[in-house]
A and B are shown apart, each in its own frame.
Chain A
């Protein structure tokens, strides 16, 4: 899916949730919203936060059931899948998106997230409108759920500026029992 369009969708979801008050599934994680940032409420099982607007920088934390199909690749994740294989599914999903161009993975390594074995991806790509996005993406599988934390920014200076803030968000991330 076109990344900017995707961000728009998130913003629309926010407006929808403001309008009729909810239906958001209980999250099984939480994370601290950094000072000066704001969380944009959504109806989906995610946290979306930004400082100056989603087109400049955003942090998105999402949980998705393993049974939920991806949009572009028919590959699936499964419980007990190795982090490397899960990272490959994420990369394949982006590669299969025809709106993404010049996609390049600059880092793909094992990582620990909140004590769980996962992966860390860094990649850059150009969207259909020609905007260059840089993204850091952490992910891990716990039970039947895939958790991912990503930080995206459109320009190098924006990306670097909030990198440490993003790492703090990652450090604050933890799984909790659904309320």
Chain B
């Protein structure tokens, strides 16, 4: 679901396909819903090219990415995809959702039905209906064969070109081919085709959402939430166009979507995303994840600890009392969690309160005698004891 209107991509294609589609937009820009015509032989060759590129890109993604694995969430999403897919399926398409642990709002699909969604994007969604629209948009790209249409829209490649390149096993051939096409096509045409494909995916996707009995108005809130997340908007015209297209007969939605079910499914993801954002030093995003988690689950011990960590590690002196409060809430929610004890100890140690710090470090060690950071905790304890002995002399 690449955003149109030059807005930041909310669900963009990876470089290879982006290039292919952007390139191939040009010649055959025929507008939403219109199939680009090409001979059967050429279609088969292009499908072969796409199949090759799909496998290559997917291998590259697996190599360079960290997959987010959570069986319950994956199963939940699989069931949603099954509801959204057209009856009878689509030949050659096996929908499969892969979650990538990464910041940023990104999702993309491949012609074989694989849909890749970054956890950074998922963490912004507020309801199952929004997730349904995201999935349906990507499925629409797949079922309407947008990659193939975009590729076919470019100038015809010769049989020799394709044959030589597929035989050569060179990883560069596809990009060379698409780059050549790109050069042959004007920018405006590429943008026009991309926009038309996105609009079609929006429209077809929304139809899928309605057929699956989700509330389309709730689903369309995804644009607001992603806009909040990326600050630059996701193309204000897109939701407006879709809202205009909705007829009053679409209401009401038949599917009951208890928001707490969706929120429960997202809890672990929000925690992991928050930790990931902390590693990247993206404090605002980390704060958002932690606060969202605690909004949905106010007694989440690790959520309180995460929020405390963000506030402490941001190194803003005025936030230390808030950090402490969240550490204590984490302990109240789960007294067996060692990390908050250590964090409180560190705050006291930094303030020069060795006596207070000592007890917290001892608690952390007692709760997790074999933790990987115990050498550090022991060194802090030694500092505390040295300071206390100095004070007692």
Determine whether B372 belongs to the interface, using a CB cutoff of 8 Å to chain A. yes
Interface string of A62-92 (1 = CB under 8 A from B): 0000000000111110100011110000001
For B279, give its contact among A78, A85, A96, A109 (CB under 8 Å). Answer: A96
Closest chain B residue, CB of each to CB of A126: B63
Q: Is the CB of A84 within 8 A of B63?
A: no
Determine whether B64 belongs to the interface, using a CB cutoff of 8 Å to chain A. yes
Known: A78-B315, A82-B346, A101-B63. A109 touches B281 (CB 8 A): no
Known: A78-B315, A98-B64. A109 touches B280 (CB 8 A): no
Determine whether A95 belongs to the interface, using a CB cutoff of 8 Å to chain B. yes
Q: Is the CB of B280 within 8 A of A96?
A: yes
Q: Is the CB of A75 within 8 A of B375?
A: no
For B281, give its contact among A92, A101, A128 (CB under 8 Å). Answer: A92
Q: Is the CB of A108 within 8 A of B373?
A: yes
A85, B350: Cα distance in complex, Å: 13
Q: Is the CB of B373 within 8 A of A84?
A: yes
Q: Is the CB of A73 within 8 A of B315?
A: no
Closest chain A residue, CB of each to CB of B382: A110
A55, B280: Cα distance in complex, Å: 28
A51, B127: Cα distance in complex, Å: 59
Nearest chain B CB to A149 CB, angstrom units: 19
Determine whether B379 belongs to the interface, using a CB cutoff of 8 Å to chain A. yes
Q: Is the CB of B376 within 8 A of A73?
A: no
Q: Which residues of B contact A83 (CB under 8 A)?
A: 376
Q: Which residues of A contact B283 (CB under 8 A)?
A: 74
For B376, give its contact among A72, A96, A109, A128 (CB under 8 Å). Answer: A109
Known: A82-B346, A98-B64, A101-B63. A76 touches B281 (CB 8 A): yes
| Contact count band on A | 20 to 34
Interface majority SS (helix, strand, loop, mixed), chain B: helix
A69, B350: Cα distance in complex, Å: 24
A84, B281: Cα distance in complex, Å: 16
Q: Which residues of B contact A108 (CB under 8 A)?
A: 372-373, 376
Q: Which residues of A contact B350 (CB under 8 A)?
A: 82
Q: Is the CB of B373 within 8 A of A73?
A: no
Known: A108-B373, A109-B375, A110-B375. A73 touches B281 (CB 8 A): yes
Interface string of B367-393 (1 = CB under 8 A from A): 000001101100100000000000000
Closest chain A residue, CB of each to CB of B279: A92
Q: Which residues of B contact A85 (CB under 8 A)?
A: 313
Interface string of B280-301 (1 = CB under 8 A from A): 1111000000000000000000
Q: Which residues of B contact A74 (CB under 8 A)?
A: 280-283
Q: Which residues of B contact A109 (CB under 8 A)?
A: 375-376
Interface string of B54-88 (1 = CB under 8 A from A): 00000000011000000000000000000000000
Q: Which residues of A contact B346 (CB under 8 A)?
A: 82
A169, B64: Cα distance in complex, Å: 35
A83, B283: Cα distance in complex, Å: 21
- Interfacial residues of chain B within 194-240, with CB under 8 A of chain A in the complex: none
Among all A-B residue pairs, the 5 with the closest Cβ atoms: A74-B281, A75-B281, A110-B379, A109-B375, A92-B279
Residues of B whose CB lies within 8 Å of any CB of A are: 63-64, 279-283, 313, 315, 346, 350, 372-373, 375-376, 379
Residues of A whose CB lies within 8 Å of any CB of B are: 72-76, 78, 82-85, 92, 95-96, 98-99, 101, 108-110, 128
10 pairs, A vs B, C-beta closer than 8 Å: A72-B280, A73-B280, A73-B281, A74-B281, A74-B282, A75-B280, A76-B281, A85-B313, A99-B64, A110-B376
